[in-house]
Amino acid sequence: MFGYQQTFKYLDKPNDMTIQSKMWISNTCQEIQHPWTDKCSNAVAGLLLSSTPYCLKVYTMVYMLSMLMRHKVPTKGDLHKMVLGILQSTAFLVTNAYTFTLFACLIRNLLGGFHISTVAFIPSVLSSFSAIVVERPKRRSLLALYVANVATETLWNMAEARGWVKSIPNGQALIFGSSISVLLYLYRLGLHQSNICKDSMFDILRIFVGKTEEGPLKSLQIANEEPANQSRTPINFSSISGLVQIYSKFLGAIKGRHQCCPHQGSCLHYILMGGLRPLLGGISLQVALKILLNIKNIIQMKIKWHKNMFNTKTLNLGLFMGCFSLLYKAASCTLRHSFNCDDARFAIPAGLLSSISFIFYPDITVALYVMWKMLQIIYNVGIEKKYVPCMPGFTMILYTLCTATLFHAGIVEPRTLRESYFKFLQAISGERFCKFQLGPLDAFGYDTGRATEEVRHRLRIINKSPLPKWSLADW
């Protein structure tokens, strides 16, 4: 479905599947999760101390970037609020890190061994819920959407590894197209202006399709009135004159502006300029990001401009944005000309057609983000219309279950986890993640030991020393 090929192989021989009948192992938590110390309390305290600087650095950058994007000079009150936010978010992420080891060791000591569910999933459920309670309520929704994005991809990879599903080429374009069409329909209805659907996602849509396509519509239908002296000559499709007549009508339609079209000027100018502006904007954004990421090499005059900056990949984002806008506006104008009216439902076929442009920028993260945003907004509309019940704490439950899925995948089935999140787990653990001895987990039948080594080698994660930072091994 997600459209990329990834080979998953748990076992060398089919008859080895019988190993999966073993669901319990008697190893200690020291043998698996903290081989550098025999004391669980030291392992927890060491993780707390080593994860704090990284989490503080991450959220300092996040909040400072958010402050810069407001384009205004911060007041003393803004700075005070930012510092408190950084500290609270840091406490949230640190809690998620160290309490995982705390609960994993506690459950193992209570049960006397590890079940496949207690290696990572259940401890992470407890640690994630403990952490999300610490975070500010306003940020919980954003965090839940992020982990839901990654967890959706991970669950698909798990299902594909078991042979339950099969990916199809450009599947991410289908996800993106179906989701963006719903959002565009709400945008044309004008529901995004209400408190129910108010979301930054519609600000992004406004960049793509413009304010002219924004709802609510002033008039849903205009009568088809022709001058009395204008006769309708039937078109003879079998003659050359008939084809010329069709071509003339087509040129007249695109060069002129239909009375139902909300834009000014001809439809042709509207469509072409609508595609050109996002095209140039996307290319400029891509170049700016590459300059920012390679600023060190640029200062040292070590960058190869043609290879690293001005290549075909630089065009991908611009081509996606430009083609999306062009196709959407072309389809919308065509539908208005064809049906002689303007209707919010035109956004659905226009959105599906324009999603073809996603093949230029097939980012599964973007596709899943749009999908989850659409589901969130539809859920809020459903609650307002009383179509679905309001579930108290749903955001916290979603974050908890999705994060637990990611922790389980990172430890038990690392091949199914997104590489960037695997690196994040390595960083947040104070470089401890690569020191886990996961060979005993092979008893569960997922070839965990070898899979972990493959992922570490592919990501160039090197175990530089036998002891992690703040190991507290001698305490």
pTM summary value: 0.83
Q: At CA 75, angle to CA 73 and CA 81, rounded to 5?
A: 115
Q: Do 223 and 389 form a contact (C-beta atoms < 8 A)?
A: no
Judged by phi (left if over 0) then psi (alpha if -120 to 50, else beta), residue 447 lies in left
SS (H, E, C) 348-362: HHHHHHHHHHHHHCC
Q: Do 361 and 322 form a contact (C-beta atoms < 8 A)?
A: no
pLDDT in tens, 4-23: 444 444 444 333 433 444 68
> What number is the average pLDDT over the span 117-124?
94
Distance from C-alpha of 185 to C-alpha of 202, rounded to nearest angstrom:
11
The letter for the amino acid at 155 is L
Contacts of 241 (CB under 8 A, 6+ apart): none
Residue 469 is classified by DSSP as T
pLDDT in tens, 349-378: 999 999 999 999 988 999 999 999 999 999
Backbone angles phi, psi at 334, to 5 degrees: -60, -40
pLDDT in tens, 25-75: 989 999 999 999 989 999 999 999 999 999 999 999 999 988 887 777 888
- pLDDT for 418 beyond 80: yes
Please identify which residue in the block is written with the tokens 């004159």: 241
Beta bridge partners of 24: 115
Percentage of the chain modeled with pLDDT above 70? 84
- pLDDT for 322 beyond 50: yes
Contacts of 287 (CB under 8 A, 6+ apart): 309, 314
